[in-house]
Amino acid sequence: MSRIIYFLLVSVFLLGINDLSAQDDNLIQFSGVVLDADSLLPIPYTSIIVMNKKRGTSTDMNGIFSFVAEKGDSLKFSSVGFRTEYFVIPDTLTVQRYSWIQILATDTVLLKTHMVYPWPSKEQFRQEFLNTRIPEDDLDRANRNLAQAQMRDQMRNMPMAGGGANFKYEQGFRNEATYYQGQYPSWSVLNPVAWAQFIDAWNKGEFKKK
C-alpha cells in the first residue's frame, strides 16, 4: 500500500468518526494514527499515555489507535527512535468522537563513549600480549617461499641419494659378480695402484688418531 493511499484511507476514517452524535458531554472516543514525519509511514506500537490519569494505550501494527478519553486530557506519544510529543485534547469539544493525526520526528540519541576491554586487568593484558602470535605478513610469506625454492634447487643439485643410491650400489655389486663369475675375484692387496694410494695416504698422516 503506498503512502498516499494509506494517508487518504486514514483521513476518511478519521473524518467519518467525527460525525457521530455525542452521548456524553465529558467522555470522548479518541482515535487517530501516528506517522513518521519523514516518510509519512505509520509507526507501530507507539505508546500513548494519559499523563494526568496514568493510563493509556498503544498503536497497532498500522499505527492506528482508539480509546476512551476525557476532554482536557494531556497525552504523551513516545516511540523508540522518535522524539516524544505531547497533545492536549480540547475541552471545548461538542462531539463525542475526536480524531487526531500525530506526527513524530526521528530522534538521534548520542550515547556516552565507553571503552570495552577483553581483559579485566593490566597483568592479564600483558600476559596475553606477550603470548600473542603475530600473524605473518607479505615479507614473511615471501621469505618462506624463497627458502622452499632454494631447498628444491639444492635437492636437484645433490647427488643421487636414498633409493637411487641403493639401486646404484646394487647394480654395481651385480655387475662385479657377473664379471668374476666362475673365478675368484681380484684382491686389492695385490693391486699396485691400491698400494700406491695407501702409502701416499700414510705419508700424509691420514691414519693418525685425531
Q: Please count the other Cβ atoms lying within 10 Å of the Cβ belonging to residue 65.
A: 22
The gap between the terminal CA atoms of the chain, to the nearest Å, is 101
The SS3 call for residue 154 is helix
Provide the residue ranges of all domains of the chain, joining segments of one domain with +.
Answer: 1-156
Looking only at the bridges linking them, the beta strands covering 85-88 and 74-78 are antiparallel
Looking only at the bridges linking them, the beta strands covering 74-78 and 97-104 are unpaired
- Taking the C-alpha atoms of residue 129 and residue 117, their distance in angstroms, rounded to an integer, is 13
- Taking the C-alpha atoms of residue 73 and residue 173, their distance in angstroms, rounded to an integer, is 115
pLDDT tens sequence for the chain (210 residues): 555 555 545 554 555 444 444 445 789 999 999 999 999 999 999 999 998 787 889 999 999 999 999 999 999 999 999 999 999 999 888 889 999 999 999 988 777 887 777 777 778 878 877 887 776 677 777 777 777 777 777 666 655 555 566 666 667 667 766 766 666 566 555 566 666 777 777 777 766 655
> Rounded to two decimals, what is the model's pTM?
0.45
Mention the CATH class of domain 1-156.
mainly beta
